[in-house]
Amino acid sequence: MKIRVTSKERNSLLKRTEVAFEVEHGETGGTPSRFDMRKRLAEALKAKLELVYVKRVETRTGANTALGEANVYESVEQAKLVEPEHIVTRNAPPTEKPAEEPAEKPAEKPKEELKEAPKEETAEKEEAIEKVEEASE
């Protein structure tokens, strides 16, 4: 995965740098995760990981490049103040899910009940077929 910064614009009012970037991800197959892009972008911009937030990523159909936008803040406090909660959540590192215990299986019907039900249905169907045949003669 290669990241190339296409534009940088300073927003002094919000105390951040707004960055547009391009990611080439031909060797990885699919679009990389936001967290991976965030780490690479922080390395490329020589910024701390906590200050970089990937806002948007878009991969065109059939292409191996994605275009994105990110914000690099001056401080963590400023980032928490300005950045929307859903963007902060999307940029969080992936967490490992604890191994869940398998859910209890529902109680199974006794095999006797399963065997008897089809016989009753079959008998009813056979009676209906006989009645139709007698009526047609």
Domain boundaries, the chain: 2-90
d(CA 38, CA 51): 10
d(CA 134, CA 52): 82
The CATH class of the 2-90 domain is alpha beta
What pLDDT, in 10s, does the model give residues 41-50? 999 999 999 9
What pLDDT, in 10s, does the model give residues 40-98? 999 999 999 999 999 999 988 888 899 999 999 999 999 999 999 999 999 988 886 55
Question: By CB neighbour count within 10 A (0-12 exposed, 13-18 middle, 19+ buried), where does 30 fall?
Answer: exposed
